[in-house]
Amino acid sequence: MRKYFSGVIILALLTMLVSACSGGSSGDSASSTDTSSDASQTSSGQPKDGGNLIIGVAADPVILNPNYAGDRVSLTIDQALYAPLFQVNNGKKTFYLADSLEPSADNLTYTMKLKSGLTWHDGEKLTADDVVFTIDKILDEKQNSMLRGNFIIGGKPIKAVKVDDTTVEFKLPQVSPAFEATLVQVSPIPKHIFENEADIEKSPKNNTPVGSGPFKFKEYKTGEYVTLDRFDNYFGGKPHLDSVTYRISKDANASNLALQNGEINMKYVDPQDAATIEATGNFDMKNYSEGRLSYLLFNEKSDTGLLAKKEVREALSYALNREELIQVAYTSPDYADPAKSFVTPDGLYHDNNVTTYDNDVNKAKELLQANGASGMKLRFIVSGGNKAQEAISLYVQQKLKEVGVNVEIQSMDASAFGDKFTDPNASDYELAAGGYIMGFDPDAYSILYTTGSDSNYNHYSNKEVDELFKQGAGEADTTKRGEIYKKLQETIASDAVIYPIAYTKTIVAVDKKYGGLDEAVLKPVVIFEDLSKLYLK
Amino acid sequence: MRRLIVRRLLQTLPMLFFVSIVCFILVKVAPGDPVRSFVTPNMHAADIERIRHNLGLDKPAYIQYFIWLKECLTGNFGYSLVNHKPVLGQIVERLPATAGLMASAIALAVILAIPMGLVAGANRNRWVDKLVNMIAYIGISLPLFWLAILLMYFFSIKMHWLPSMGMRTIGTNSALDVIKHGLLPCVVLAIGFLTVYVRYIRSSTISQLKEDYVQIQYAFGSAKRIILFRHVLKHVLLPVITLLGMSMGDLVAGAIVTETVFSWPGIGSLGMTAVRGMDYPVIMGITLFSSVLLILGNLLADILYGIVDPRIKTTR
């Protein structure tokens, strides 16, 4: 009796606590929508100067130096701190530090002109010397830059040569149409700062970075925030905002609350949370393609050898329904476009009109029967806690059961999953859910699908595909190159190498008080391409 | 006494050595690869191998350990494999945030736990005892991250009384501001400690009340309150000293969950990032640092015991 009584009290207290909170929410949200409508009435569309922006990020930046930045947060902050040479959106170039980039007639030399009068944040001149220095340091084997591999073509490095203060020539060892996609990743680092550093990666000078972007470094409080101030001499014009702060918040739930509380003005949100944030009415929700493909991996090297047969992979594809899968994994078709080609829509020569094996249970059963594979058992590895992967695996398990295939889901720790997924010899699983972002030049995909490549996690091998990738890499004629990659997309699709699920989108919530979102250009990973264009309404 | 301290300090060294070996083995046995944290899919295998070699990660694990140990003995705790900053510097940089938060949480917990435990123990099975027990049970059963989110939702989002994240308002540096930011995480952590302390103090009070000296005080006609706070309290404080000694490790290890939820820039959140990236120099640094404090804390507790309770001194 006593125990029962205290149990009741606990329950009563808990319900009081919970209801107090939810009761508060209904009253308060009404008042907050009032204020926001007031604000929109008074605000005009004119860009105003002044104000701050707080961007929520999920981790500390690893290193604020574009030669080393590989993590999302460093890349995001570097985008405001260091101006790129140029950027590419939907195949169109926007020039930043560069003024033009022209290939020679034989496509072996690219001449780049820099804008004149460029300066670093500390007032020093930014010249061709800095660009050449940056490329040299990327190529330097002692400097551990992760961009190095891209500057090696056929075993030989690309050379950068200074012609005059604003002109740089890039000499390629062989024709490479993918060169522009390589150069787009480069943001020059200042020679006068790093000239005498033996190991740039470990240099304490990375703690007070000097860049050339719209915002300059002000302070970094470890674990708290990074603040950047307006750079008045930015070549693209003085930025509207006074400062941008990147606030570090590792817990997704907590940072969503901070967003609603106004302590963060802009951040990525998960599809699962998007509806809640949108319902507050205080945020512009921007969905945009990240150039990412989410797919189901067929491991052809598995010890059972079941998936090495094309017909079996076809049968498994027939058993699944892409629309349902998108609904299950990404909660709404708004957040993911159905995928058929292995090239993402932002990629050159992307073609989604390729062979697909659309949902047909009877065909799936027939094919399995004919290939002696009905009743087979497949192992699906999942990174525990990854919501999308877990949803995909459960859906696949249920759908394949309908065609008589048993799927055993093996959930594992994220790093164990990573080890297994990338291990070129892993043969103890058949299925996994993966995703990749490869950039706009289709040559980048060769490492995923050519025989024996380290990143060919499917262990797919097709001589025709190998040959086509080789041709595509060295073909300078755009029409011919386009045909090669169209053929590749068709071959890989009809071979059912992977089951493409969706081109996923990311969702960014931006406080409605900010304008200029379209001019700033939404960009995968780094959110905005040019933060100087954002302003307070 | 001096011999005791010297002996205990000498015992510390093999213990730390052992801790470092176990920690290193665990990190190496765990799946994952520190190189992966900066590998991108379009890096070439040869480049990845070159970076692995430059970082010394291609050597056998035991050699990596001895290299680390050698550096460690010369006072160099190495560089993070992920951001390449010195490990010691990173720990020292975050230490004030963690130590301040943990110390105030433990202090708050002790201050609340002593009267609660005493009163509950003295009124065993009455309503006060039930209430205290219930609070303790709720505290133990509630996941702290959930409690954290709940408090954050109420005090920050709904009432706007307190900030929900971080340690400072951006760009400012005032003590009052830090205290305001620290209040919620401090309360959450204190609830975590409190529930453990209360139960210790309660059971200790119950057993003390059965002692002869209490009966004699009753016989002399002392009031219950005076017996409790003047006589029993002294004895009850003994286990509190042990508890505090054991909490010394927490002072530097931080609280991974609470610090992460409140974006508190302490060692707990540094440790979590390090574990995710398999950044073993940082993991080893934090483990060793908190082991040293734990050992010192226990030593301090033992010395205090000797001072507070002369019986222990004579038995040694």
Does the beta carbon of B90 lie under 8 angstroms from any beta carbon of chain A? yes
Confidence band of A17 (pLDDT split at 50, 70, 90): very low
CB A235 within 8 A of CB A97: yes
CA distance B49 to chain A (A): 10
User: What percent of chain B is predicted at pLDDT more than 90?
Assistant: 11
pLDDT at A415: 77
DSSP label at residue A233: T
Confidence band of A40 (pLDDT split at 50, 70, 90): very low
Residue B141 is encoded by which pair of tokens? 């059963």
Residue A497 has pLDDT above 90, yes or no: yes
DSSP label at residue A185: T
CB B178 within 8 A of CB B168: yes
pLDDT at B314: 54
d(Cα A21, Cα A19) in Å, to the nearest integer? 5
Instruction: Give the residue-averaged pLDDT of B93-112.
Output: 90
Measured between beta carbons, the chain A residues lying within 8 angstroms of B261 are 251, 253-254
pLDDT at B54: 79
Residue B233 has pLDDT above 90, yes or no: no
d(Cα A225, Cα B170) in Å, to the nearest integer? 8
Q: Which residues of B281-291 are buried (b: 16+ CB within 10 A; e: fewer)?
A: bbbbbbbbbbb
A61 → chain B, closest CA residue: B83
For A66-82, what is each residue's pLDDT tens digit?
998 878 899 999 999 99
Residue A132 is encoded by which pair of tokens? 């050449």
Confidence band of A45 (pLDDT split at 50, 70, 90): low
Per-window interface: B 272-301 vs A, CB < 8 A: 272-273, 276, 278
| Among the partner residues B38, B150, B157, nearest to A70 by beta-carbon distance | B38
For B110-155, what is each residue's pLDDT tens digit?
999 999 999 998 888 899 999 999 988 888 888 888 899 999 989 9
- Dihedral angle sign, alpha carbons of residues A388, A391, A393, A399: negative
Does the beta carbon of B42 lie under 8 angstroms from any beta carbon of chain A? yes
Does the beta carbon of B159 lie under 8 angstroms from any beta carbon of chain A? yes
Q: Report the DSSP beta bridge partners of residue A535.
A: A515
Residue A15 has pLDDT above 60, yes or no: no
Instruction: Give the residue-averaged pLDDT of B20-37.
Output: 82
Confidence band of B7 (pLDDT split at 50, 70, 90): confident
pLDDT at A42: 40
d(Cα A228, Cα A181) in Å, to the nearest integer? 28
- Where is pLDDT greater, at A154 or A205? A205
Residue A316 has pLDDT above 90, yes or no: yes
Location of structure tokens 């073909």: A475
3-state secondary structure of A428: coil
Q: Radius of gyration over alpha carbons of chain A, in Å?
A: 26
d(Cα B192, Cα B141) in Å, to the nearest integer? 10
Residue A62 has pLDDT above 90, yes or no: no
A437 → chain B, closest CA residue: B41
Q: For residue B175, what are the CA distances in angstroms to A221, A303, B152, B159?
A: 16, 62, 21, 22
DSSP label at residue B20: H
Measured between beta carbons, the chain A residues lying within 8 angstroms of B93 are 222
How would DSSP label each residue in A354-373? S------HHHHHHHHHHTT-
Measured between beta carbons, the chain A residues lying within 8 angstroms of B94 are 222-223
Residue A23 has pLDDT above 60, yes or no: no
SS3 content of chain B, % helix, strand, coil (to 5): 80, 0, 20
pLDDT at A380: 94
Could A62 and B83 be called an inter-chain contact, meaning their C-beta atoms sit closer than 8 Å? yes
Residue A144 is encoded by which pair of tokens? 């551990």
CB atoms within 10 A of CB A332: 12
CA distance A63 to chain B (A): 6
| Among the partner residues A21, A222, A225, nearest to B158 by beta-carbon distance | A21
For A505-525, what is each residue's pLDDT tens digit?
999 999 999 999 999 999 888
| Among the partner residues A68, A263, A447, nearest to B42 by beta-carbon distance | A447
Confidence band of B37 (pLDDT split at 50, 70, 90): low
Q: Which residues contact B13 (CB under 8 A, 6 or more apart)?
A: none
Does the beta carbon of B311 lie under 8 angstroms from any beta carbon of chain A? no
d(Cα A362, Cα B253) in Å, to the nearest integer? 59
Confidence band of B75 (pLDDT split at 50, 70, 90): confident
Q: Report the DSSP beta bridge partners of residue A292.
A: A437, A504
Distance, CA of B282 to chain centre: 17
3-state secondary structure of A357: coil
- Dihedral angle sign, alpha carbons of residues A85, A88, A91, A95: negative
| Among the partner residues A21, A142, A152, nearest to B150 by beta-carbon distance | A21
Does the beta carbon of B156 lie under 8 angstroms from any beta carbon of chain A? yes
Phi, psi of A125 (to 5 degrees): -75, 140
Measured between beta carbons, the chain A residues lying within 8 angstroms of B158 are 21, 24-25, 28
CA distance A367 to chain B (A): 34
Could B137 and A10 be called an inter-chain contact, meaning their C-beta atoms sit closer than 8 Å? yes
CA distance A408 to chain B (A): 21
pLDDT at B313: 59
- Where is pLDDT greater, at A222 or A84? A84
Distance, CA of A431 to chain centre: 23
Could A71 and B37 be called an inter-chain contact, meaning their C-beta atoms sit closer than 8 Å? yes
Residue A9 has pLDDT above 50, yes or no: no
CB atoms within 10 A of CB B215: 12
pLDDT at B312: 67
B47 → chain A, closest CA residue: A149
Does the beta carbon of B124 lie under 8 angstroms from any beta carbon of chain A? no
Instruction: Give the residue-averaged pLDDT of A379-397.
Output: 90
Q: A1-15, A91-105, B273-287 — which is least confidently predicted?
A: A1-15
Residue A18 is encoded by which pair of tokens? 């919970």
Q: What mean pLDDT value characterizes chain A?
A: 87
Residue B38 has pLDDT above 70, yes or no: no
List, in sequence order, the alpha helices (H) in A463-509: 463-474, 478-494
Q: Report the DSSP beta bridge partners of residue B241.
A: none
Phi, psi of B162 (to 5 degrees): -135, 150
Name the most confidently modeled range: A148-162, A237-251, A427-441, A447-461.
A237-251
d(Cα A193, Cα A188) in Å, to the nearest integer? 12
Instruction: Give the residue-averaged pLDDT of A398-416.
Output: 89
Q: A43-47, A183-187, A304-308, B198-202 — which is least confidently predicted?
A: A43-47
Residue B34 has pLDDT above 80, yes or no: no
Helix H, strand E, coil C: the string for A140-151 is CHHHCCCCHHHH
**ipTM score of the complex?**
0.82
Are β-strands A167-171 and A406-412 bridged in parallel, bridged antiparallel, or unpaired?
Answer: unpaired
Question: For chain A, how long is the longest CA-to-CA vector?
Answer: 92
CB A104 within 8 A of CB A110: yes
Measured between beta carbons, the chain B residues lying within 8 angstroms of A62 are 37-38, 82-83
Confidence band of B254 (pLDDT split at 50, 70, 90): low
List, in sequence order, the alpha helices (H) in B123-174: 127-141, 144-152
For A78-110, what is each residue's pLDDT tens digit?
999 999 999 988 778 999 999 999 999 999 999
Residue A343 has pLDDT above 80, yes or no: yes
Residue A3 has pLDDT above 70, yes or no: no
Location of structure tokens 């133990």: B140
Most B CBs within 10 A among A5, A22, A245, A251, hence the mutation to make, goes to A251
For A260-313, what is each residue's pLDDT tens digit?
989 999 999 988 888 899 999 999 999 988 889 999 999 998 888 889 889 999
CB atoms within 10 A of CB B11: 12
Residue B171 has pLDDT above 70, yes or no: yes
Residue B92 is encoded by which pair of tokens? 């020292």
CB A88 within 8 A of CB A184: yes
CA distance B164 to chain A (A): 6
Confidence band of A184 (pLDDT split at 50, 70, 90): very high
